[in-house]
Structure 1
């Protein structure tokens, strides 16, 4: 059968059909997967900071140089932070007076270390006390010079393990109170119920000295009244909490407040570090997120 030669009118109708089909597809896919910046789904949810599950993030990568091999005191650790061009990055924005914060936690949350590596050429070096074996994760936290969100650092996480007999300790259930090794008591006094997911909350902690008296003021620690980091007890993701009371402000009824946004359901182990009486104290509490 011979093909009919298309007339000018036929071409016009064909062009209109193509435009309708393409336009409909664009509208359909536009409704299905709209760009995030154009969605209007109600109030903006505060950005969460819960990561450290990967050794690469936001164009940065953790490069191992010296990893812990045995348990002990002052176990050496060395690493580089590589940028998108594969070159070491050696300068970051100061974050609570430090260029880089470094954490080590065991998967049962019984071992927690927070130290600050020193730059040696293009390599960050430090040492940590690791008294027992088991599965661990280390975290490097820093704020890039070109960041658009200085309140939420980049956190890179790397797992490692130490061989040998391990004295594992169950993660404590969510509780409202904790006692430091130095005898201070820290009690959560906001509402010790489960916390909402992806919603900013203020957590208030009452700090009591060993004699039971409220701590009226804290000494500077990392340029603030205190430092708190949380770790998901199953995922081992890291969450940084920001202090509310400015440095030097008196603590009303001995209470210290932190802003927090949690990105995953489950339980978190919070480690609060504060300085009082010329010493650094660390309290650990478990909270639940639903």
Structure 2
């Protein structure tokens, strides 16, 4: 057998090295090798029911802050514009549960939740928020563009802000099957403190009970529905909203409201269920683990 000269071995080695580099380059440029395009096996192409508020820009719309909270207070002014694809401020949207814009505020430890409805002042939306403690917060604006083809998927834009001063962080409560909604009302998850699946449509059930422990038969209208639910991933601070499936005016079976949920990420979520009864608005809070 003829032996290869050292120069031939060197040439062969260089050829192998070039081939390996080429293969690695192709793999890194392919969708399989890129985390930005990788989809888990069996996962739907869209991982969330709508935009999640992790960005101030979505579908050509941009959240433009005008006045951002920087101090503590019971009525700290907030002002912002929604800039559209044309570059001009947008002031007209489709009604979303009787409102043009829903505005949410939450601190990174899930404290200080507020659900507000800013008023339009020229081309600027204005409201006031209560900031009881310092810390890192995020505010969200949710709206449905007039030309959207899917009214069930609002645009949600989010912007972070920080308030200086002492901050008393609070541990997120563990998952529980029951929550005090105030005014003698209690909300119970009939299935207990069970987990929810990630990236899969799931139904969440909540039974509202009065001071006597009996399920309520009816609720007052709240934003044109039986209630409203907002959820936040406790790590990412991504937002998701849910509306009850029961049509307004329909009787409540066992005092239950059911919500269709689609969670895009694993982890803990803090859910805020709002409803109206006895002329007052009540809120129940739940922690749900998504896996």
Q: TM-score, normalised by structure 1?
A: 0.83
Q: What does residue 181 of structure 1 align with?
A: 182
The alpha carbon displacement at 1:174 in A equals 1.4
Q: What does residue 18 of structure 1 align with?
A: none
Q: What does residue 92 of structure 2 align with?
A: 91
The alpha carbon displacement at 1:47 in A equals 5.2
Q: Show the 5 A alignment for 1:162-181.
A: 162-181=163-182
Partners of 1:66 and 1:79 within 8 A in 2? yes
The CA distance in 1 between the partners of 2:174 and 2:32, in whole Å, is 43
Q: Show the 5 A alignment for 1:104-123.
A: 104-123=105-124
Q: Are 1:234 and 2:235 matched, yes or no?
A: yes
Q: What does residue 147 of structure 1 align with?
A: 148
The alpha carbon displacement at 1:149 in A equals 1.7
The CA distance in 1 between the partners of 2:162 and 2:55, in whole Å, is 16
Partners of 2:229 and 2:274 within 8 A in 1? yes
Q: Describe the SS at the equivalent of 1:192.
A: coil
The CA distance in 2 between the partners of 1:76 and 1:30, in whole Å, is 45
Q: Describe the SS at the equivalent of 1:243.
A: coil
Partners of 1:50 and 1:262 within 8 A in 2? no
Q: Describe the SS at the equivalent of 2:139.
A: strand
Q: Describe the SS at the equivalent of 1:194.
A: coil
Q: What does residue 265 of structure 1 align with?
A: 266
The alpha carbon displacement at 1:128 in A equals 1.2
Q: Describe the SS at the equivalent of 2:145.
A: coil
The CA distance in 2 between the partners of 1:32 and 1:147, in whole Å, is 34
The alpha carbon displacement at 1:281 in A equals 0.3
Q: What does residue 16 of structure 1 align with?
A: none
- Post-superposition Cα deviations, 1:122-160, rounded to whole Å, max 9, x if no partner, equal 000001111111110000000011112210100000000
Partners of 1:49 and 1:238 within 8 A in 2? no
Q: What does residue 207 of structure 1 align with?
A: 208
The CA distance in 1 between the partners of 2:51 and 2:214, in whole Å, is 34
Q: What does residue 13 of structure 1 align with?
A: none
Partners of 1:46 and 1:200 within 8 A in 2? no
Q: Are 1:218 and 2:242 matched, yes or no?
A: no
Q: What does residue 24 of structure 1 align with?
A: none
Partners of 1:81 and 1:88 within 8 A in 2? yes
The CA distance in 1 between the partners of 2:76 and 2:45, in whole Å, is 44
- Post-superposition Cα deviations, 1:36-70, rounded to whole Å, max 9, x if no partner, equal 9xxxx798878523510011111000101011121
Partners of 1:135 and 1:160 within 8 A in 2? yes
Alignment CA distance shift 1:42-1:182 (3 Å): closer
Alignment CA distance shift 1:145-1:68 (3 Å): same
The CA distance in 2 between the partners of 1:141 and 1:120, in whole Å, is 18
Q: Describe the SS at the equivalent of 1:180.
A: strand
Q: Describe the SS at the equivalent of 1:253.
A: helix
Partners of 1:175 and 1:285 within 8 A in 2? yes
The CA distance in 2 between the partners of 1:47 and 1:134, in whole Å, is 28
Partners of 1:50 and 1:240 within 8 A in 2? no
The CA distance in 2 between the partners of 1:106 and 1:45, in whole Å, is 27
The alpha carbon displacement at 1:71 in A equals 0.8
The CA distance in 2 between the partners of 1:269 and 1:52, in whole Å, is 15
The CA distance in 1 between the partners of 2:190 and 2:275, in whole Å, is 17
Equivalent pairs, count: 257
The CA distance in 2 between the partners of 1:113 and 1:30, in whole Å, is 40
The CA distance in 2 between the partners of 1:47 and 1:94, in whole Å, is 22
